[in-house]
Amino acid sequence: MSLPLEGLSAIVTGAGRGLGRTEALELARLGAAVVVNDYGQPGRDGSGGASTGPAEEVAAEIRAAGGRALVHTGDVSDHRQARELVESAIGAFGKLDILVNNAGILRDRMVFSMSEDEWDSVIRVHLKGHFNTIRFASAHWRERSKTAGAPVYGRIVNTSSEAFLAGSAGQPNYAAAKGGIVGLTTSSAQALARYGVTANVICPRARTRMTEDVFAGLARPEQGPDPLAPEHVAPLVGYLASPAAGHVNGQLLVVHGGMVAIVERPRVQAQFDTKQDAFTYDELDGLLTPYYADRPQGETFAATEVLGLRKRNDTA
């Protein structure tokens, strides 16, 4: 019996550790040839020298299990290096079929203390890094589709966070980047569907070096599997990358141990219409002030609470 991803090739960014590692291993287990991309810096804030070690270790695991793997240690936030990443997959495997964007860093700070570099660096790696790889992968799929005169096979799986849904007080840069990734995904989904390409985005909950602060108070169980292990996220990525998910496009899914939640687009909670040609300040005051006064004090959009995720502590 053939494997779901047999004959397909994939790129996984940030694949040297954590979520990216488990995703790369899962895609390989399902039959894909995988380009393992990781810049290899030891610090979760992007500090330290680049290293081939993490990516090489994951590639070695894939090969030891009988799979095919190529190592790429370029920085996806760099436009040229992202192009080289896509070209390396095409050169090694003849084509690219699957792109999983996972690379990211953290530079946490309250908004009133954040430096320009702390803002720019996180936006660059997360949001620009996602754009860069999608830019060159989508051009490849579009050209193949035009040559074939028909849709081709293409899958994009991006990584956002519930921080974008309800905010994260000490992570304005991270929350903004993750929100941007959702917009990038839904836009890409609409633009690329005609070529046979789907684009979806996940909000994973997993215990990694990126989330050690978030889950600091949630210890690993003494017995049984850890519901926050990254391995619980990888199967959804494998599914979204597969032929079975051909009709899943432009979707946002929250995933962690034993749960997948499909998040619908925002709905209108209340609507007010002016009784005149245009609103005045006084009319808005008469409508909106009582409406918000009747709501519980401090109530905000808190999707993470609805989905049962403990609020993240503020970071100085």
Rounded Cα gap, residues 60 and 2, in angstroms: 23
∠ CA 21-5-245, rounded to 5°: 95
115 is catalytic: no
Q: Which of 88, 160, 161, 188 is catalytic?
A: 161
Q: Which of 39, 174, 195, 239 is catalytic?
A: 174
CA distances from 100 to 13, 96, 146, 308, 313 (A): 6, 11, 23, 26, 29
Rounded Cα gap, residues 243 and 151, in angstroms: 13
Rounded Cα gap, residues 97 and 154, in angstroms: 5
Q: Which of 145, 178, 195, 239 is catalytic?
A: 178
Rounded Cα gap, residues 108 and 45, in angstroms: 9
Rounded Cα gap, residues 56 and 64, in angstroms: 12
174 is catalytic: yes
Q: Between the CA atoms of 110, 112, 115 and 121, what dihedral angle is there, to the nearest 10 degrees?
A: 50
128 is catalytic: no
Catalytic residues: 161, 174, 178
